[in-house]
Structure 1
Amino acid sequence: MTPELDPVIHAQARLRVVVTLNALPEGDQITFPGLKDLLGMTAGNLSVHLGKLEEAGYVEIVKTHRGRTPATYVALTRRGRLAFEEYTAAIRTLLDTTSAPPSGA
């Protein structure tokens, strides 16, 4: 049986976002501009993908101020980390299944 891949994470841009956020220690966050620069994405494109991840409960977005300057922070939630673990396990299973020699060969 082929494992199901989480469609929220599976989109290339969202997968890149989740992989990057997962590399941060649990509880850490990154600024929106920092994440945008790391991924080489436009602000609009990143915002759209973060919105989908936030809707799924995979990321938390906190808007605050540093002095008078607005600041937006992004972090992967526990639910997001678990979803990413399940996604990577499904990919590994899929790869193991497809790399196994055909039975009877």
Structure 2
Amino acid sequence: MIKINQLNKEFESRVRLGIMSVLMVNDWVDFSEMKGLLEITDGNLASHSNALEKAGYIEIKKEFVGKKPKTSYRVTQSGRKAFSDHLDALEKLIGR
């Protein structure tokens, strides 16, 4: 039987759950697209994406396109595994 403390605390936030869900089905997603999909502020996206990067779950790429900065995100292999494990644990917790 699965216990609630077996869920990954990094994914407790609605925003982090959203970021990971988007990245699990897309290769690279840029800042503006992610912000629009999740309907969150710049600061909210920046702080949650930085936390996921620090945990090793996502990669953040910063570059210039012309003279404009561009930030993009993608899930790492360890992030993909951790998120899949989290979803499996959730399913077991609700009895599926």
TM-score past 0.5 threshold: yes
Q: CA deviation at 1:39?
A: 0.6
Q: CA deviation at 1:51?
A: 0.9
**Structure 1 unaligned runs (5+)?**
98-105
**1:88-103 equivalence runs, <5 A:** 88-96=87-95
Q: Give the equivalent residue in structure 1 for 2:55.
A: 56
Q: Give the equivalent residue in structure 2 for 1:100.
A: none
TM-score by length of structure 2 reads 0.92
Code of the aligned partner of 1:80:
G
Q: 1:23 aligns with which of 16, 25, 36?
A: 25
2: distance between equivalents of 1:67 and 1:55?
28
Code of the aligned partner of 1:43:
D
Provide the alpha-carbon RMSD of the alignment.
1.3
Code of the aligned partner of 1:12:
R
Q: Give the equivalent residue in structure 1 for 2:16.
A: 14
Q: Secondary structure at the match of 1:74?
A: strand
1: distance between equivalents of 2:25 and 2:86?
15
2: distance between equivalents of 1:34 and 1:72?
10
**Structure 2 unaligned runs (5+)?**
none
Q: Secondary structure at the match of 1:50?
A: helix
Q: Indicate yes or no: 2:87 matched with 1:85.
A: no
TM-score by length of structure 1 reads 0.84
1: distance between equivalents of 2:55 and 2:78?
9
Corresponding residue pairs, total: 94
Q: Secondary structure at the match of 2:40?
A: coil
Runs of 4 or more, structure 1, over 6 Å off, are none
Percent identity (aligned): 35
Q: CA deviation at 1:41?
A: 0.5
Q: Secondary structure at the match of 1:65?
A: strand
2: distance between equivalents of 1:38 and 1:92?
25
